[in-house]
Every structure is written in C-alpha cells, then in structure tokens.
Amino acid sequence: MAVAETPPAAPVTPAAQATPIAPVTQVAASTGPLVPSGPPRDGPIPPIRAARTPRTDCKPTKAFVPEPHLDLSTYEADADLMTLSLGPQHPSTHGVFRVVLYLDGEQIVKAVPYPGYLHRGVEKLCEKLMASNITPIIDKNDYVAPMTNEQAVNMAFESLMGVEVPVRARYLRTVLAETQRVASHLLWLGTFGMDLGGALGGGTSLFMWCFRERELILDLFENLTGCRFHYNTHTVGGNRHDVPAGWPEMLHRTLGAIDERLDQYLGMLEHPIFSARTKGVGVIDADLALELGLTGPLLRASGVDHDLRRDAPYHAYAEVDLKVFVEDAGDCWARSKVRIEEMRESIRISRILVDNLPPGPICSTKPLKMVGQHKLPPGQVYVGIETPRGELGTWLIGGGANKGSSPYRLKIRSPSLHACAVIPYVLPGCSLSDAIAILGSLDPVMGEVDR
C-alpha cells in the first residue's frame, strides 16, 4: 500500500544529465580558497534522493498480541515484510547468536532465534571425566561468572556423594559468589551502555569505567587463585585455595571503591535519554516470566519476589540477612535497577562475611591422587543455585553403566537459555532499535546457552 502511494521519483533535470562529470583534478597547493573542480553549476543542486512524501500512518497499526509461532502466511503486512538476520556476529547479541527478524516497516512482527553456534558438547564430554576434570570445563560455560559455575557443579557432586563442606569453605564460597556477582553485573552494565549507544555517557565511556572496576575484582581473584578468569578453585568438599595474608583488607579496599561509584551508576538511571530508551520497553509480565522459567534479576524485575539465596539458602546465606530487590515494571529499566541494587547488596554481604571467616580447614576431602578415588554412587540429584543470571541447575545422574567416578548423565539447566527463549515473546511489536536494548537487558551468555 505504502509503496504504491509514493509519488514517482522526481525526474532528473536535463541540465544535470547534460553536464558530464568532471574528472577530479588535483587542487593546486599554492594559493586561494578551495573551490569545487569542474565548471560552475547553474540552478539548484538536484536532490540526491527522490523526495518522498512522509508516511502519515507510521504508527503501530495493529494491537499486537505476541505470537512466538506466528504463521507469516496469514499475516497482513502494511508494507513489504522484510527479513533481517541479526547476528551471529552482531555485537549486541553478546556472543554468537542469530535472531531472524521479520519487519513490517520498523515494527518487528516475528523473531526466530537460532542458538547453537557455541555448542561444544560439554555434557557429552563430562560423561568421560571425573569431578576434578569437569570443574575447569564448566568454568568456560558462563565465562562472565566462572566462580558460580564451579560451585553449581561441585555442589551437585557433593550432594550425590554425601560430602560435607567445612564452614570456612562455605563462607569463602559465599564471598566469592557475591564478589563474582558484582564483576558480572559490572560487565553487563558496560556492555549495556555500548548497546544503547550514546545513552549512557556516549559509547565506550561507561564500558571503560565498568571494566576499570571489574579489573580490580579480577586482581582480587588472581591474588587468591592465581588465575584471572578460569579459576578452578572449587573442588568436591571445599575449596583449593585458602585466603592469603592481606586478602580481606584488599577485598575491603576494592569493594569500598566500587561501592562509592555505584551511586554514580544509580544516578544514570534517571538520565532522560536512558529513561526514554528503557522505560516501558520490553515488558515481561510476571506470569510469562514464571511460565518461561526466567530466574534471577529478570524474574525479580517482573515483580516476583523470589531468590534462591534467601528462599532456599545454601553456602552461608542463612547467616546473613539478605535484602532482595523487586521491581514491578518488568521493562529494561527495572532490570537495570535490580542489577545495580544487587551489586550494592552483594558488596555489603561480602564485606560482612569476609570479616567473619571462621577458622578451620577449607576442604573435607583429600587432594585427588588417583583415578577413581571419588566413587559416584548411583542416584539422581538436582541442585540449583542463584548465579548472577538466575537459577543455574545441575542434574547429575551417577552409576549406570559407568560405575566409576564420572557421571552417567550431566545436564546443566542454564538461566541464559531461558532468557533467550523469551525473545520470540518480547520482540514482536517493538521497533528495531528497541530490540537491541531488550537483548542487552536480558544479559545472556552464549557459552551457557549452547554449552
């Protein structure tokens, strides 16, 4: 309809047709102002593009009911339906991820995600390995928060083997998990600023600020484990690295510095451009969030008061009074607010627990010396913990034909998979620029989606 109604392109003026394009001559370096080469032109300059009458019906013409499995043959488009493949290398997908968007003008009609570009067969590989070998591999799943990944899989092994974790290790694990949460949310905030373009201090400024502070936390982890990124510090029955001298003071210094800067980030939420780009964009209501299995900040931003750290305490979370932040709006702004408030709470908990580290051993099992030292009994357990992205679960099946120390079947329930599964429900009805903001606010990590 719109194509038929646009007036025909303005005819190219005969004068412009007759004038041959003059060859580009080198401008004399000597004197005088710069003048365009070629003969002087008479009359007005012809427009580069034909004038178009602006569309007056550019509004969301349809009251949109998101339909993830929409049959496009039944959809009546206002303009021609355009197919746009976003990704797999698009920076706003935060990894290797492809979403095929069907656009009616600027409005997204249907979104079909294609994950799987980072599939590495981790679950198959784990069926051949022992717990001590699995830990460094699981590190690479959620490469933004490796600490919590290690904890999830080791807690599943501990649960199936009936291994107790000493109190000191439980406290240390809590400190590490919460510090990791700050680092992970900082990375999200930086990349979210990149996604929004100039909305947060212009392009890369926020990204650089967040990485500056994340580096401090990586220094902290390097001091403890010797690695900046893939730590391999957890083992069945506890931790492998005890706190070195001066580490608690270093943690206080680092987290105190970050805590001061959090106020600046909270102030950014009130920035008019940031509000305009995120408020009311990508609303996920509570019912859909629950049905889809969304967890973590995404669920809490939709108004569901649920946090495994408080509702099913593990580690040492029962010892602290955890405050859980809930926002009702369910839009990108609410998700940002929840994450930034969570950082402050994580900093508070870490600082309390590191001061109260109880003395004692940090591991209840002997260091692994031989293959088959830890036997996996037959049985099935599911252990879910609250990572920065939500509930990371490990379903572990022991015994079976393996009858050794490697699992019969290991399934990782990743929160990012469910975060990506919400895309077909949220994107339809939005404009293309909103899609980038929504993808950024979901904070998926593709290594965890595809495994």
Partner 1 sequence: MSAVEARVAQLEEIFLRFELKAESDADNKTGGPLVPRARHYELAQALKEAGWTSYVAVVASHWLEEKKGETVVDVEHFEVATALRSVGAGTLVAKWRVRLELNEDIDSLFPLFAGADWQEREQYDLVGVSFKGHPDLRRLMMPDEWVGHPLRKDYAIETGCAPWR
- Closer CB to partner 1, 235 or 295, in the complex: 295
Among residues 81, 227, 288, 352, the one that binds partner 1 under rule CB under 8 A? 288
Q: Binding of partner 1 at residue 297 (CB under 8 A)?
A: no
Q: Which residue type, as a one-letter code, is found at position 414?
A: S
Contact pick of 397, 426, 430, 439 for partner 1 (by CB under 8 A): 397
- Closer to partner 1 by CB, 249 or 305: give it: 305
Distance between CA 105 and CA 107 in Å, rounded? 6
**Cα–Cα distance between 152 and 122 in angstroms, integer?**
15
Q: Does 415 bind partner 1 (CB under 8 A)?
A: no
Among 306, 337, 344, 351, binds partner 1 (CB under 8 A): 306
Q: Which of 96, 167, 368, 381 binds partner 1 (CB under 8 A)?
A: 381
Q: Measured from the CB of residue 180, what is the shortest distance to partner 1 in angstroms?
A: 22
Among positions 140-169, residues that touch partner 1 (CB under 8 A) are 159-160
32-71 binders of partner 1 (CB under 8 A)? 68-69
Residue with tokens 């620029």: 433
- Helical H segments across 236-312, by residue range: 247-268, 272-278, 286-291, 297-301, 308-311
- Cβ of residue 100: shortest distance to partner 1, in angstroms? 13
Residue among 418, 435, 436, 445 that touches partner 1 (CB under 8 A): 418
State the Cα–Cα distance between residues 346 and 368, nearest whole angstrom. 33
Task: Decide: is 395 part of the binding site for partner 1 (CB under 8 A).
Answer: yes
Query: Hey, what are 356's tokens?
Result: 């109260």
Cα–Cα distance, 399 to 44 (Å, whole number): 84
In the region spanning residues 68 to 97, those forming contacts with partner 1, defined by CB under 8 A, are 68-69
Candidates 36-44, 184-192, 362-370, 418-426; binding stretch for partner 1 (CB under 8 A): 418-426
Minimum CB separation of residue 95 from partner 1 in Å reads: 14
- If DSSP codes are grouped into helix, strand and coil, which group holds residue 17? helix
| Stretch binding partner 1 (CB under 8 A), from 19-27, 166-174, 205-213, 394-402 | 394-402
Which of 219, 263, 285, 311 contacts partner 1 by CB under 8 A?
Answer: 311
Side chain identity, residue 17: Q
CA 273/CA 269 separation, integer angstroms: 9
Q: Is 292 in the site for partner 1 (CB under 8 A)?
A: yes
Question: Which one of 305, 321, 328, 355 is in contact with partner 1 (CB under 8 A)?
Answer: 305
Shortest distance, position 166 Cβ to partner 1, whole Å: 20
Alpha helix segments (H runs only) across 356-445? 415-421, 423-426, 432-442
Q: Which of 139, 341, 448, 450 binds partner 1 (CB under 8 A)?
A: 450
Pick the binder of partner 1 from 384, 388, 428, 444 (CB under 8 A): 384
Count residues binding partner 1 (CB under 8 A).
Answer: 49
Identify which of 185, 413, 199, 194 has the alpha carbon closest to the alpha carbon of residue 300: 185
Task: Decide if residue 121 touches partner 1 (CB under 8 A).
Answer: yes
Alpha helices by DSSP H, listed for 94-145, are 122-126, 131-138
109 membership: H or E segment, kind and range: strand 107-114
Q: Is 411 in the site for partner 1 (CB under 8 A)?
A: yes
Task: List all residues 6 or more positions away from 416 whose beta carbon is below 8 Å from its beta carbon.
Answer: 142, 389, 443, 444, 445, 446, 448, 449
Question: 72, 418 in Cβ contact below 8 A?
Answer: no
Q: How far is the CB of 292 from partner 1 (least distance, A)?
A: 4
Nearer to partner 1, 78 or 127 (CB): 127
CB-side neighbour CA atoms (13 Å) of 429: 17
Q: Does 303 bind partner 1 (CB under 8 A)?
A: no
Residues in CB range of 131: below 8 A, 6 or more apart: 153, 154, 157, 235, 236, 374, 376, 405
Q: Point out which span in 11-19, 293-301, 334-342, 435-443 binds partner 1 (CB under 8 A).
A: 293-301
Among 304, 320, 332, 340, binds partner 1 (CB under 8 A): 304
- Which of 78, 106, 123, 242 binds partner 1 (CB under 8 A)? It is 123
Which two three-digit tokens encode residue 83?
């197919």
Backbone dihedral region for residue 429 (phi beyond 0: left; psi -120 to 50: alpha; all else: beta): left
Report how far residue 113's alpha carbon sits from residue 340's, in angstroms, rounded to the nearest whole number.
28
Residues that bind partner 1 (CB under 8 A): 68-69, 115-116, 119, 121, 123-125, 128, 159-160, 288, 290-295, 299, 304-306, 308, 311-312, 377, 379-382, 384, 391, 393, 395, 397, 400-401, 408-409, 411, 413, 417-418, 420-421, 425, 450-451
